Chain A
Amino acid sequence: RKEVEQDPGPFNVPEGATVAFNCTYSNSASQSFFWYRQDCRKEPKLLMSVYSSGNEDGRFTAQLNRASQYISLLIRDSKLSDSATYLCAGGEEYGNKLVFGAGTILRVKS
């Protein structure tokens, strides 16, 4: 079993839709969690850190469920520019050694 697992998608959604991704992790010692965005053939870029209390940044909301060992990302009012691969990551130390999921592909269509 992979330490961090994601549904690879693709998720095909119309503009304006709300879409949610989940990511499960198996290492109960994981302390820090992140969502990264990766455009085709580009480097991953940090989208959001995921805190126990949840984290919201504009149209994006991230949640952590330690009991069930998953993190989620909710995107509201999807834009064409949100089309990308979304990677979740978890680490034991504070963000310094991360294990990444394989990514979830999002395609937003007009």
Chain B
Amino acid sequence: DADVTQTPRNRITKTGKRIMLECSQTKGHDRMYWYRQDPGLGLRLIYYSFDVKDINKGEISDGYSVSRQAQAKFSLSLESAIPNQTALYFCATSALGTDTQYFGPGTRLTVL
């Protein structure tokens, strides 16, 4: 079984809808991240959390919110989706003091 899972894997929605992307991990890592990837722009950090009570904005947090429900779960919400939020979204985890981030398989989101 994968150590970092994301649901859903694909989602098509309409402008104005609320969307939640979920991430779960079984690696026991404290640190979790949400990125979006767009062609030509690479991975950009949306939010990150260093433990359950810690939430930090990343480079592009506008239009997004997150919830760290438990050490193993980190959800990303789009309160009112817009077409330029169409992208590939990745969740990642890392352990304190290590140099490896482990990525989930990604969620492909299309906003019409």
Q: Are B99 and A49 in contact (CB under 8 A)?
A: yes
- Looking at the assembled complex, report how far the CB atom of B93 sits from the nearest CB atom of chain A, in whole angstroms: 11
- List the interface of chain B (C-beta within 8 A of A): 31, 35, 40-45, 48, 50, 59, 88, 90, 94, 96-101, 103-106, 108
Interface size class of A (residues with CB under 8 A): 20 to 34
* Given known contacts A96-B31, A96-B50, A44 and B100 CB-to-CB distance under 8 angstroms: no
- List the interface of chain A (C-beta within 8 A of B): 4, 8, 32, 34, 41-46, 49, 87, 94-103
* Given known contacts A96-B31, A96-B94, A100-B43, A43 and B99 CB-to-CB distance under 8 angstroms: no
Q: Are B103 and A98 in contact (CB under 8 A)?
A: no
Of A43, A44, A46, A97, which is within 8 A of B45 by CB?
A: A97
Chain B residues in 8 Å Cβ range of A94: 97-99
* Cα-based distance from A42 to B106 in the complex (angstroms): 7
20 contacts between A and B (CB under 8 A): A4-B42, A32-B99, A41-B106, A41-B108, A42-B106, A43-B90, A43-B106, A45-B103, A94-B98, A94-B99, A96-B50, A96-B96, A97-B45, A98-B45, A98-B101, A100-B35, A100-B42, A100-B43, A102-B40, A103-B42
* Cα-based distance from A46 to B98 in the complex (angstroms): 12
* Given known contacts A43-B103, A43-B105, A44-B90, A95 and B42 CB-to-CB distance under 8 angstroms: no
Q: Assuming A41-B88, A87-B42, A102-B40, what are 19 further A-B pairs, CB within 8 angstroms?
A: A34-B99, A41-B106, A42-B106, A44-B90, A44-B103, A46-B100, A46-B101, A49-B99, A94-B97, A94-B98, A95-B94, A95-B99, A96-B96, A97-B45, A98-B101, A99-B45, A100-B42, A101-B42, A102-B42
